[in-house]
Structure 1
Amino acid sequence: MKIAVDAMGGDYAPQEVVKGIEQARDRYADVTFDLYGQTDKVQPLIQNSERITVVDAPEVIEMGDEPVRALRRKKQSSIVLAATAVKEGRADAFFSAGNTGAVLAAGLLIIGRIKGIERPGLTTTLPVVVPGDQDQFLMLDVGANADTKPFNLYQYAVMGNYYAQNVMGLQNPRIGLLNNGTEDDKGDMVHRAAHDALAQASDLNFIGNVESRELLNGVADVVITDGFTGNAVLKNTEGTALSMLKLLKDSIMTGGLSNKMGALMLKGAFKTVQNKMDYSKYGGAVLLGVKAPVVKTHGSSKAVTIANTIGQIKTMIDQQVVPHVVDYFDAHADEMAQAKESMSQK
C-alpha cells in the first residue's frame, strides 16, 4: 500500500514528519510513502530512502491560511498534490499534520464524499481513565461540521460503528449520543430526533444519551455529537488535563521538601497517569465519509505520533474500512432515505 504524506504540514515539519515516516517504514514492511514537499528541504533529511519517494511540491499551505482559498490558489502545495494523488488512485491514503481546515477541505473537495453520506465527520480517539478492559473511546464529529442535522448524527453513528469494529477491534460497540442529560427527552429538537432514530436502528447498539462528564469513564465506545460541541468538548478535555498536570507540578515545586519527597515516591504513579493521557499513542483524527482514508494529526505532533498514526492508517486499509462503509450505504440506500424523511418531519 502507498500513503501520500504532506511533508510540510505541522509545527515541526519537515524534520519530525520525515523522522516519523522513517520509523513507520521500519515497522511496516508492506507500506511505501510518497512525501510531498519542497525537495530541497525534505530530501536532505532522509536517512534511508528505501520505500520513500519525495515528490516536489513548491508551495506550502500555512496554518493561518484560509482553507478553501488556499486550495484554489496554491495548486502546487503539498496538501493539494497529496490529496490529488489519492483521488487519481496513485496512493491509498492521505496523511497530514498541517492546516486542519485545508486537510478537511481537500478530503471533501478533492478526494470526495462517499455516495449517500451527506456530511463526513471528523473522528478521534480519547483515553478511558478508569481501570477496565476499555482503554479508549471514539468521538465524532469533532470539528468538520458546526451545524448538524439529525440525519447527519444518525450517519455518524453508522460510520463510527464500522470504525470501532474494524480499526479498534470492538465487538458490538456501545454508541451514545452526547447530550445535556441522559433522559430520552433531553436536548434540542435535533438531538431528540436523532435519539429517536438511533433508538430504532436494529443494527446499532445504541445506549441512549450520555453526558460529557462521563466520557473519560468509558460510558460509551462511540460518542456521537455535532462538530461544534465535539470540538469544544475535545479542547476542554485536553485543556483540563494539561491544567491539572501543571497545577500538580506547581504544587510540588512550591510545597517544600515534604511535597518533593512525596512526589519522588509517587513517580511511578505520575508516569502511569502521563502515559494514560498521552494522545500520541492513539493516532490521528480520521475524516470518515470520504472515498479514501484521510487522517489529520495534531500540528505539534512529533515523530512517535506520526509513526503511530501511520499504523492507524495501515489498519484502516488492511480492514477495508472505506469499502465496507461504501457497501453499507449502497445496500441501505432505501433505508437511509426513509430515515432521512422521518427525521425531517420532526
Structure 2
Amino acid sequence: MIKIAVDAMGGDFAPEEIVKGVEAARDRYDDLTFLLFGTENQVKPLIQNMDRLTLIGTTEEIEMGEEPVKAMKNKPNSSLVRAAQAVKDGQADAFFSAGNTGAILAASIFIIGRIRGVERPALASAFPCFGGGHDEFVFMDLGANAENKPSHLYQYGILGSFYAESVMGIKNPRVRLLNNGGEEDKGDEVHKAAHQLMKDTDAFNFLGNVESREIMDGTADVVVADGFSGNATLKAIEGTALTMMDQLKQSIKGSGIRGMLGALLLKPALRSLKHKLDFNENGGAVVLGVKAPVVKTHGSAKANAVANSMGQIKRMVQENLVGKTTDFIKENAEQLKVKKSSK
C-alpha cells in the first residue's frame, strides 16, 4: 500500500473539495491509503467512508497570504507542517497540498529535506503542447522561487531533462530558456548568464531561448524559467484558455440554429480540446529535488484535480522517481557543480 499524507486544510475550497478528491482517489485506486491532517470538527463530517482513511486532528492552518518560513515555524501543529512531518518520520510515502506554495516548498526543504547536490528545488509540471511530436512538455519553475541565480536555472535544465526522459519517455529532450526574446543577448543579467551556462554545457540538449507565446508550439520538451516568470506565464495561459473556451461557448449559443448544429458536429473535437486545456486533468506540480514525492496542486483545485494528483503520486512512488533522481544526481555530480561558481 502507498500512503499519502494530505494537507486537508490547504486550498481555496478546502476542506470540502480536498476530502471529496481523496475519497474519489481512494475509490479509484485500491492500493492507496491516506493520512488526512486537518481540523477535526471541519473535516470529519465531510468524510463519507473511513475505509483506508485516517484523520489526524490539527489545531492550526497556514493561510495563503502568510509568510512561508515564518508560518511554518510559528504553526508546528498546522495541517501542512504535520503532513510534511509524517513523510519525514516515515509514516507516509508522499506529501500532497493545495495550500500556500511557499510554505509547501519550505516544508519540503526544511522538513522532508533536499537531495544533496540540488541547489534549489523547483516546481515542475507537465504542460500541454500542440506540435513537435509530443502532447506535453516539462515546465519549471512554476513559482517555488521568485528569484533565481543562473546556476539554479542551469540545474533546472538538468532536472527537467531527467524528468522528461525518465517519466515522460522523451529521448534526448530539447531544453529552452524562457526569455523575452530568442536572441542569446536578450533578458536581464541573470538570464544572459544562464543562457551562456546552458549553451556551453553537454549536460543536456539546449536549443536556446523561447518566448512565452511559443512555449505551447512543441518546440521544446523542457522549458526552464525563473519562478516569477514561470508562475506569471502559467496563470496567463490558464486565464486565456478559460476565457477563450467561455467565449467560444457564448458565441455558439448566440449564433442561432446553424451555430448549434455546427457545434454538435464539432462536439468531439471541442471536448478533446477542452480536456487538453483543462489543467485540473493533469494533476499537480511536482517539487523536484527533495527526498520524497511532493505534489502541489492549484489553490483553486476541485475534487477532480485532487483525485488526479493522487494518481500522479501513485505513479511517482511506483516508478521510484525520487530514488532515480537521487541516483541520477550522484552520477552527474560534476555536471551539476561545474558552473556553481557562476552565481
CA separation of 1:332 and 1:47: change in aligned 2, threshold 3 A: same
Look up the match of 2:207: 207
**Superposition pairs for residues 160-309 of structure 1, below 5 Å?**
160-309=160-309
Note if 1:55 corresponds to 2:56. Answer: yes
| Alpha-carbon displacement from aligned partner over 1:109-131 (angstroms, at most 9, x marks no partner) | 2222222222111112221134x
**Superposition pairs for residues 1-346 of structure 1, below 5 Å?**
1-130=2-131, 133-341=133-341, 343-344=342-343
Structure 2 portions without partners, runs of 5+: none
Residues 167 and 315 in structure 1, CA contact (< 8 A), matched pair in contact too? no
* Distance (whole Å) between structure 2 residues aligned to residue 245 and residue 236 of structure 1: 14
Moved more, 253-262 or 317-326: 253-262
TM-score w.r.t. the length of structure 2 is: 0.91
* Distance (whole Å) between structure 2 residues aligned to residue 321 and residue 249 of structure 1: 40
Q: What letter matches 1:97 in structure 2?
A: A
* Distance (whole Å) between structure 1 residues aligned to residue 326 and residue 234 of structure 2: 28
CA separation of 1:329 and 1:264: change in aligned 2, threshold 3 A: closer
Give the CA deviation at 1:222.
0.9
* Distance (whole Å) between structure 2 residues aligned to residue 167 and residue 23 of structure 1: 24
Q: Percent identity?
A: 55
CA separation of 1:334 and 1:170: change in aligned 2, threshold 3 A: closer
Give the CA deviation at 1:95.
0.1
Q: Classify the secondary structure of the residue corresponding to 1:339.
A: coil
Give the CA deviation at 1:79.
0.3
Give the CA deviation at 1:199.
2.9
* Distance (whole Å) between structure 1 residues aligned to residue 170 and residue 61 of structure 2: 38
* Distance (whole Å) between structure 1 residues aligned to residue 191 and residue 74 of structure 2: 38
Give the CA deviation at 1:261.
4.5
Moved more, 193-202 or 153-162: 193-202
| Alpha-carbon displacement from aligned partner over 1:63-109 (angstroms, at most 9, x marks no partner) | 33332332222221110100111122221211011222222222122
CA separation of 1:259 and 1:61: change in aligned 2, threshold 3 A: same
Residues 164 and 222 in structure 2, CA contact (< 8 A), matched pair in contact too? yes
CA separation of 1:30 and 1:257: change in aligned 2, threshold 3 A: closer
Q: What letter matches 1:232 in structure 2?
A: A
Q: What letter matches 1:248 in structure 2?
A: L
Q: What letter matches 1:326 in structure 2?
A: T
* Distance (whole Å) between structure 2 residues aligned to residue 62 and residue 243 of structure 1: 28
Give the count of matched residue pairs. Answer: 342
Q: Classify the secondary structure of the residue corresponding to 2:137.
A: strand
Q: What letter matches 2:212 in structure 1?
A: S
Q: What letter matches 1:38 in structure 2?
A: T
* Distance (whole Å) between structure 1 residues aligned to residue 220 and residue 45 of structure 2: 46
Q: What letter matches 1:48 in structure 2?
A: N
* Distance (whole Å) between structure 2 residues aligned to residue 283 and residue 320 of structure 1: 18
Residues 238 and 279 in structure 2, CA contact (< 8 A), matched pair in contact too? no
Q: What letter matches 1:98 in structure 2?
A: G
Give the CA deviation at 1:38.
1.8
* Distance (whole Å) between structure 2 residues aligned to residue 232 and residue 39 of structure 1: 35
CA separation of 1:21 and 1:15: change in aligned 2, threshold 3 A: same
CA separation of 1:334 and 1:258: change in aligned 2, threshold 3 A: closer
